[in-house]
A and B are shown apart, each in its own frame.
Chain A
Amino acid sequence: DAGITQSPRHKVTETGTPVTLRCHQTENHRYMYWYRQDPGHGLRLIHYSYGVKDTDKGEVSDGYSVSRSKTEDFLLTLESATSSQTSVYFCAISDGSRTSLDNEQFFGPGTRLTVL
């Protein structure tokens, strides 16, 4: 998985609790992304980062926040988890050799989150 790890790999939590997912890379890539994958939908972009402390929203960003204090780490936080946020979350990285969302992305192994 191209030097990308995600933690935890599985998590079960209750509605209303905060949850933080971590993505860690060892490739020193500039761009990092968070996606969610749900049955009946393609992968959908939540947030992405184009550098340390530089982040932007994707198409399904409501209810999520992100932070990137180091090149290697990109955190996704659900401030107050809801059942609609039950999903598989994937982190991806790219080196930014072309436009930020245009170059090949390498995906992590995913985190399966269940919100009861």
Chain B
Amino acid sequence: KNQVEQSPQSLIILEGKNCTLQCNYTVSPFSNLRWYKQDTGRGPVSLTIMTFSENTKSNGRYTATLDADTKQSSLHITASQLSDSASYICVFTPGNLIFGKGTKLSVKP
């Protein structure tokens, strides 16, 4: 069964610090992986899109990685800002879209 598990469920960090969010999956095969950012009360917005053959993709302070051997993807946020407070969702596409439940990140001053 295709499953996507995100960890941690929630995370609190101080402004300026780095953090890494994890996404473990059993989806196979898949064509691409996306990380979305969802601000409270808003719809998700795409941060990065990777094909199954890519290992890393960056978008400013956001860097997504994909390890097909361990079936893990990570989203690394560098020099966090208050505006990074949001939920982050990984999404796999083996045809249909399979969404993780998200990690809620809170960045405190």
Contacts and interface: CB of A to CB of B under 8 A. Distances in A.
B42 to A, nearest CB: 6
Interface of B: 4, 31-32, 34, 41-46, 49, 89, 93, 95-102
Contacts of B32: 102
Given A99-B95, A102-B93, A104-B49, A42 B101 contact: yes
10 contacts: A42-B99, A42-B100, A42-B101, A42-B102, A45-B97, A92-B43, A101-B93, A101-B95, A102-B93, A104-B49
Interface in A79-116: 90, 92, 99, 101-102, 104-110
Q: How large is the interface on A (under 10, 10 to 19, 20 to 34, 35 or more residues)?
A: 20 to 34
Interface of A: 1, 4, 40-45, 59, 90, 92, 99, 101-102, 104-110
Given A41-B101, A42-B4, A45-B97, A108 B43 contact: yes
B109 to A, nearest CB: 27
Nearest to B95: A101
Contacts of A109: 41-43
A102 B44 contact: no
A101 B45 contact: no
A107 B43 contact: yes
A102 B46 CA distance: 14
Contacts of A102: 31-32, 93, 95
A44 B93 CA distance: 13
Contact of B44 (A40, A41, A101, A107): A107
